[in-house]
Every structure is written in C-alpha cells, then in structure tokens.
Amino acid sequence: MPLISYAQNFEDVILWRALKRIERGFYIDIGAQDPVVDSVSLAFYERGWRGVHVEPTTLYAENLRRMRPDEEVIQAAVDNRVKSRVFYEIPGTGLSTGSRVNAERHKTQGHQIQKVRVPCLPLSAILDRHRDRDIHWLKIDVEGMERQVIQSWRPSRVRPWIVVVESTEPLSLRPGFARWEPLLIGLGYEFAYFDGLNRFYVSHRHPELRESFGAGPNVFDDFVLSGFASAPQHQQLAERAKETVNALASRDQQTATLNSEIAHLRAEVSHAEGCEAELQQQLAAHQSNAQAAMAREHELGALKEQLATVYRSTSWRITALPRFVSGVVRWLVKGIWAWITLKPGSRPRRVAKRILAPPLQLLTRLSKILDISHQANSVAMPDEPEGVRRLYQRLAQARMYVADGR
C-alpha cells in the first residue's frame, strides 16, 4: 500500500525511505502545527507509529489533542533561558514564532500579529522523558528559533536517529543553518540531505541510514499525495477533493429528496391498499345482501305459489259463499253496533242484543268450523292483490266480532 504524503516538502517520504523497516516507531515533532495540513508525522501515525508533539499555539495544540488522543501534546515553546516568553501568533498560518524580528517582518507583509505569553521548557527535558526508548526522528520547525532549541538540548544524552531542521529564513531561500549547525554537529550528527527547505542529519550511532539519502522523492518511493499540504503540487488534488465533496453533498441532497418522494409514494400506496380493503369489505357485504335478497325473492315466490294453490283449491271455491255472508254480516253488525253504542244504556240496545244473539252464536260456530280467517292470515303476503287483502281483513274482523259475542 503506497505511503500517503501530507508533509509540505516530502519530508515524510524521505524519512519513511530511511525508517520503513521500523515497526511502531517513535518520533518527537517540535513545532508540530496542524495534525493534518503539512504534517510530517501523520503518514507515520497512520502506520502505527506514535510520538510527542510540541506546539505553543492554542488552536493547533487543541486540534492535535482532539485528533491524536493517544499521543502526548506539550503546549509550550522550547527555550533553556527562561520559563516563559512572548510568542507572536499569526492565525491561520505556520509562521507563528518567538522571534520578534521575524514577527515584525511578517507584519510589514500584511499579517496580523497576536502577542501571547507561553511557557517554555528545554529540549533536554523533553528528550529525557523518553531516555529508555529509541527516538527514530526529531523534527525542529520553529520559524527562526532553531538555535535556541538546539542550545537547550544539553545536558541530555538522548540522540534521535535522524534530525530534520528547517534551514532557510522564513518564506525565503536564504540559508539560516550557519547559526546552529555547528551545535548539532557537536552533538554527534552528520549532514545527509538537503531538500531545498530542510536539512537532514544522521546520528553517528546509525551510519547505516546514510545510504537512504541522496536522491529526492521519486517513483521508487511508492507514495501518493494527500492533497492536504500547502505546497502547490497539492492544489489540484485539493480542488478535485473539494469538487468531490461538493458533488457528494449534492448527491446526498438528491438522495434525501428521493427518499422523501419514496416515503410519500409509500404512504399513498398504503392509503390505496386501505381503500382497496374497505372496497373489498363493501363488495362482500353487497354480495351477502344480494344473496339474502335472492333468498327472500325465492321464499316470496314459494309463498305466492302456495297462495295461488289456495285460490285454485276446491275448498276456496266452496267457502266463497260463507266469506261473502261473513262480509255482509260484518257490515251489518258494525253498523248496528255503532247505532247501539250511541246510547249504551238505552232499551233499543238491549232489544238489539237479544235479537242479534242467535245469529251471532250461529256465526261463531260457523267460523270455528271453517276457520277461514286463520288459514287466510297464515298465507297473506304484503304484495298480494288488493281484493284479496280486503277479503282477509273482513274475515279477521268478522272473527273478532264473533269471538267477542257481540
């Protein structure tokens, strides 16, 4: 798997070429700045290495703690002469420095300067914390404060395998290593490589590493650009990454819109399914009602057929005269009874009751014998002919008068 380079000037590629045989190595980064942009350590961190970051700027120190929770972050400047010092922060850049001269130069170029006071500690104290382990590389990038950092190395006897120091004046090609290189040589290091910005030194204790230096980063180093460095060669990658992020955001928006439409369609389908189920229930109810109506129609037809049979029967023809007489009697009785009830206690009522008693008794016996009205009522239908219904009513009324003995 290719190495992903995040460093500004391929410092991580050169260091990895020399140290790639080391598994889970250790580093110290003085002036670490951002945990991703221009980071020399991130390529190693992704391959299991861990280390210490020294960064006095509050924003970068907090970002390092957040993104590298399993590493040590020291928020301080490195100096052996004082316990604290004025530090000149230049927000949004890697130019923050403890050098007043460099800060004034940046100010004349239009940069905003913020003066803060930060704690200081010597490099020897940082190194001695890890005296019992190998420190595979040490990077010093302190924007003009390199001499003070290297001067604070002694009295520690710890010697990292490789030391990388930014060796030009900030934002220029002017070399600045003459002020501090003799100190580093005196600590037991030998110059090995210059990349145009940094000088690489190898400890006398690890001369085998020198053969890894000489050629610049090339195809045989098997690396790819991350697109997160500030160097120009990363700009096109950064633009493409931005375009990709924007395209993904647009696609996410389209996906959210489609998901909303799908949810709406699902709701409509669910509503349609509910309507379909309701219609099915109504259809089943209509079919049941139709079957019941057909059954009633069939029953009505059977009853009509029974009535027609009665009409055609001999008994119906034989009882025609009694039905007629019953009707006449009912009419007479009704009229006479209405006349009698006008004066309930009058003598005419008593006379009429004695006169009508024998005929009424005779009609009662005749009704019991024929039981015509009972048979007629048992077959009466609501839609039979008007004449037949009137006949049933007359028979029923005659029977009522006979039964009451009136």
Indicate whether 361 pLDDT > 50: yes
Instruction: Kindly indicate the confidence band of residue 373, based on its pLDDT and cuts at 50, 70 and 90.
Output: very low
88 inside domain: yes
| Residue 347 sits in the same domain as residue 201 | no
pLDDT one-digit tens code per residue, 248-263: 777 888 888 888 888 8
Indicate whether 71 pLDDT > 70: yes
Residue scoring higher pLDDT (40 or 362): 40
SS3 label, residue 268:
helix
Where helices occur in 47-145 by DSSP H, the ranges are: 58-67, 100-108, 123-128
Which CATH number fits the domain that encloses residue 104?
Answer: 3.40.50.150
Indicate whether 386 pLDDT > 70: no
| Residue 77 sits in the same domain as residue 192 | yes
Peptide bond before residue 155 is cis, with ω within 30 degrees of 0: yes
Distance CA 91, CA 244 (A): 28
Indicate whether 318 pLDDT > 80: no
358 inside domain: yes
**pLDDT value of residue 406:** 47
Distance CA 304, CA 296 (A): 12
Distance CA 255, CA 257 (A): 5
- Which of 207, 229, 251 corresponds to the end of one domain? 229
From the list 8, 20, 83, the residue with the least C-alpha distance to 49 is 20
DSSP E strand stretches across 160-292: 162-166, 189-194, 198-203, 223-225
Instruction: Kindly indicate the confidence band of residue 16, based on its pLDDT and cuts at 50, 70 and 90.
Output: very high
Q: What is the DSSP string of 18-31?
A: HHTT-SS-EEEEET
**pLDDT value of residue 314:** 79
| Residue 153 sits in the same domain as residue 9 | yes
Residue scoring higher pLDDT (305 or 32): 32
| Residue 185 sits in the same domain as residue 328 | no
181 inside domain: yes
Q: What is the mean pLDDT of residues 163-180?
A: 91
Distance CA 213, CA 38 (A): 21
pLDDT one-digit tens code per residue, 328-356: 766 766 666 566 665 555 666 666 666 66
Instruction: Kindly indicate the confidence band of residue 109, based on its pLDDT and cuts at 50, 70 and 90.
Output: confident
**pLDDT value of residue 379:** 43
What is the span of the domain harbouring residue 95?
3-229
Indicate whether 199 pLDDT > 50: yes
24: left (phi over 0), alpha (psi -120 to 50) or beta: left
**pLDDT value of residue 260:** 85
Least confident of 84-98, 204-218, 229-243, 283-297: 229-243
SS3 label, residue 63:
helix
| Residue 215 sits in the same domain as residue 355 | no
Where helices occur in 76-221 by DSSP H, the ranges are: 100-108, 123-128, 146-151, 181-186
From the list 289, 386, 401, 389, the residue with the least C-alpha distance to 336 is 401
Q: What is the DSSP string of 249-264?
A: HHHHHHHHHHHHHHHH
Residue scoring higher pLDDT (397 or 209): 209
258 inside domain: no
Indicate whether 377 pLDDT > 60: no
SS3 label, residue 164:
strand
398 inside domain: yes
| Residue 8 sits in the same domain as residue 153 | yes
Contact 84, 117 (CB under 8 A): yes
**pLDDT value of residue 404:** 56
Residues in the chain, how many?
Answer: 406
Number of domains in the chain: 2
How many CB atoms are closer than 10 A to CB 77?
A: 28
Packing angle between helix 386-404 and helix 320-340, nearest 10 degrees?
60
244 inside domain: no
Instruction: Report which DSSP code applies to 129.
Output: T
**pLDDT value of residue 288:** 86
Q: What is the mean pLDDT of residues 167-190?
A: 93
Least confident of 78-82, 189-193, 199-203: 78-82
Q: What is the mean pLDDT of residues 278-301?
A: 84
**pLDDT value of residue 73:** 98
The residues with which 189 forms a beta bridge, in sequence order, are 203
- Which of 213, 229, 245 corresponds to the end of one domain? 229
- Which of 229, 264, 288 corresponds to the end of one domain? 229
What residues contact residue 161 under an 8 Å CB cut-off, 6+ apart? 19, 134, 135, 136, 137, 202, 203, 205, 206, 209
From the list 261, 258, 106, 265, the residue with the least C-alpha distance to 171 is 106
**pLDDT value of residue 60:** 94
| Residue 68 sits in the same domain as residue 178 | yes
Least confident of 163-177, 286-300, 358-372: 358-372
Indicate whether 149 pLDDT > 60: yes
| Residue 204 sits in the same domain as residue 342 | no
296 inside domain: no
Contact 406, 333 (CB under 8 A): yes
**pLDDT value of residue 284:** 86
Read off the pTM. 0.61
285 inside domain: no
SS3 label, residue 7:
strand
What residues contact residue 60 under an 8 Å CB cut-off, 6+ apart? 32, 33, 34, 35
